[in-house]
């Protein structure tokens, strides 16, 4: 399969594996990627995901145009790829992106659906769609201006300019820029830190942030209280607070399951 899925110690490593084509996504790969996200989301063994690309040259350069252009010309719309872009798929387990080269078009768009992002010093990013007469409608038109300053988002979308990993860090797109050989090890360190936390609290926090983004402030505060109460009433909260009070490491019930 061109999307590799491997679970290690609570971490699902999802690898886009077509390095000879810069990890460009075929139509089948979009479906496989969507299924990998769903499998991780439904698996009790998985607490966090790491998404990366095979090889050193590319994370993902988006759709394979030799397939996607005829597909779109035949009247199919890119909504068929929504699940791979996590546009309507509830996914409350954290996703860490490890970007190891070119991250363009649909690959860049998928990055915006992840939660914590690391990139190699050699990574490059761009949204070239407007130069092809189309728009980056794989979630970018919704997500990007909510994640970084409006003017920066519009410059990327409207000019198609390429930016370096350091620039992406300064824009607020990335959390860390690391040396290429350290990329996956640093991603796994972050993942390990998350797996040590309460799965109920981690997923509850992500769910709340996603749901509250689109709500008016007063309604958001009310919804935050309801979602927070749901987590506070879980056995993990009782265990975590007791462990803190007694100065011991917590043994969260949901992690044992």
Contacts with 209 (C-beta within 8 Å, 6 or more apart), sequence order: none
Q: What is the largest CA-CA distance in the chain?
A: 64
Catalytic, 109? Answer yes
Residue 172: which region, alpha, beta or left (left: phi > 0; alpha: psi -120 to 50)? Answer: left
- How many helices, marked H, and strands, marked E, lie in the chain? 11, 10
C-alpha distance from residue 14 to each of 5, 41, 231, 248 (Å):
5, 12, 28, 34
Contacts with 185 (C-beta within 8 Å, 6 or more apart), sequence order: none
What's the rounded Cα separation, in Å, for the pair 207 and 191? 18
The one catalytic residue among 31, 56, 67, 129: 129
Phi, psi angle pair for 125, to nearest 5°: -130, 140
The one catalytic residue among 109, 121, 192, 224: 109
**CA neighbor of 105 nearest in space, from 21, 171, 162:** 162
Phi, psi angle pair for 143, to nearest 5°: -85, -40
Catalytic, 224? Answer no
Active site residues: 109, 129
């Amino acid at each position: 399969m061109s999307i590799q899925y491997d679970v290690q110690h609570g971490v699902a490593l999802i690898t886009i594996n077509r390095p000879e084509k810069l990890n460009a996504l075929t139509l089948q790969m979009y479906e496989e990627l969507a299924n990998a996200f769903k499998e991780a989301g439904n698996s009790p063994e998985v607490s966090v995901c790491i998404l990366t690309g095979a090889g050193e040259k590319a994370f993902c350069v988006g759709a394979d145009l030799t397939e996607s252009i005829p597909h779109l010309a035949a009247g199919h719309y890119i909504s068929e790829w929504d699940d791979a872009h996590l546009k309507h798929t509830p996914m409350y387990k954290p996703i860490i992106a490890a970007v190891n080269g070119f991250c363009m078009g649909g690959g860049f768009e998928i990055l915006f659906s992840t939660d914590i992002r690391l990139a190699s010093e050699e990574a490059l990013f761009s949204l070239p769609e407007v130069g092809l007469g189309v728009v980056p409608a794989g979630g970018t038109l919704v997500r990007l201006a909510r994640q970084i300053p409006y003017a920066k988002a519009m410059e990327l979308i409207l000019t198609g300019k390429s930016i370096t990993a350091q620039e992406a860090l300064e824009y607020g797109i990335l959390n860390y820029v690391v040396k290429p050989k350290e990329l996956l090890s640093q991603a796994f360190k972050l993942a390990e830190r998350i797996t040590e936390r309460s799965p109920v609290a981690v997923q509850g926090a992500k769910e709340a942030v996603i749901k509250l983004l689109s709500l008016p402030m007063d309604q958001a505060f009310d919804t935050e209280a309801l979602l927070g109460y749901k987590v506070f009433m879980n056995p993990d909260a009782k265990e975590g607070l007791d462990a803190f009070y007694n100065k011991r490491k917590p043994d969260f019930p949901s992690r044992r399951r």
